[in-house]
Amino acid sequence: MAKWGEGDPRWIVEERADATNVNNWHWTERDATSWSSDKLRELLLQVKVEGPEGSCQITEVKLEGEASVNNRKGKLIYFYGWVVRASWLGTSKTGINCKGNVHIPNLSDENDMDELDISVSLFKDEPSSTPLLSLMKKEGVQRVRTVLGQYVTQLKAEFAQGMILTPAKQGISEPTTSKPPPTVVKSDKTQMTSTPPSPSSAPCKTAVQIPTRSFSLKDIFLTSPHELYRTLTNQEFVQAFTHSAAVVEGHRGGRFQILDGNVSGEFQELVPDEKIVMKWRFKTWPRDHYATINLFLEDRRDETELKLECKGVPSGEEERTREGWKRYYFEAIKQTFGYGNLLMRTSAF
């Protein structure tokens, strides 16, 4: 176990004789069953599809199952397992109605959305053939799969908040406007533990003239561009995946300070769900020097490709910066919110 004040600040635990669960480090669980039941009903009852044949919509939902969110040593683990039964009503252009069932036996954390078994049928007393059944099997099933994906995304977003607490020792807390204590800088390339100073309202100064390098990265996240964009620009989400206090002003010209003040900068351009441009720096870089980070989010149906272009990194800091983005952003986001398999390698391009 790392000693308090040494090593990677994300994995530091304060040892206590009273065995208090400091900062929710040990196993912490929250029941998400009631919330999930309400959310699934809400989303499924919104399912309605239309076509030349008429329209179909879900009218009743029955659920069996449970859900919970667990925090183990700073990693969020989501458990959910549901059997979904629903009724649907089809109305043809001529006003003739038909009714049927939707059955989903395997909505769980063990199955991806494209692995769900979604069966659609007519009630026994309905005609054996109707174009509305085909409409529900094709368009209806696709819509159901989409809203179930929204449930999983919202489950992770809702219960990530408050599950991971920030250290309270050595003054590491929510940043305030008071003057911070002196920063202790280490000579190695590891992240340093110190109290983040409050962001100034003044804009970032122009970079000093030093030799610089550039690099690019890309990775796949198993979530939507909307959710990934929010993860990168919302203060509560940033604090969740960095496991430390942060200031994130998610608007153009807004400042950010994360990882206990070791990283800071300013949002230069924000195109919701598509693009983020920021001035970005390590605390140990030459004074007033910032790199430019461009993040491009590309929608690939059930996943998002994130491309990073970084320009202006001080010579000799390229490898440290690249590995920092992989570890403290990409892998940390996947590990915290379940947006990908950590065995997948982030690649340069």
Bridge partners for 82 per DSSP: 65, 107
Among 24-28, 30-34, 100-104, name the most confident range.
Answer: 100-104
pLDDT for the residue numbered 163: 54
Asked if the structure places residue 251 within a domain, the reply is yes
**For the domain that residue 287 is a member of, what is the CATH number?**
3.30.530.20
pLDDT for the residue numbered 166: 43
Percentage of the chain exceeding pLDDT 90: 50
My answer on whether 218 and 146 are in the same domain is no
My answer on whether 333 and 200 are in the same domain is yes
My answer on whether 212 and 325 are in the same domain is yes
Cβ–Cβ under 8 Å, residues 217 and 324: no
CA distance 48 to 143: 8
Reduce the DSSP state of residue 93 to 3 states and report it.
coil
pLDDT for the residue numbered 204: 56
**Structurally, how many domains does the chain consist of?**
2
Residue 330: give the domain boundaries.
Answer: 196-337
My answer on whether 143 and 78 are in the same domain is yes
My answer on whether 235 and 121 are in the same domain is no
My answer on whether 265 and 316 are in the same domain is yes
Given 160, 184, 219, the domain boundary residue is 160
Q: Does 238 score more than 70 pLDDT? A: yes
Closest CA to 315 of 195, 183, 160, 211: 211
Q: What is the pLDDT of residues 61-111, one digit of tens each?
A: 999 999 988 776 556 778 899 999 999 999 988 888 899 999 999 999 888
Sign of CA dihedral 283, 284, 288, 289: negative
Given 160, 183, 218, the domain boundary residue is 160
The pLDDT-based confidence of 19 (bands split at 50, 70, 90) is very low
pLDDT for the residue numbered 175: 41
CA distance 210 to 103: 63
Joined together, the tokens standing for residue 155 give 């489950």
pLDDT for the residue numbered 76: 74
CB atoms within 10 A of CB 321: 21
Asked if the structure places residue 290 within a domain, the reply is yes
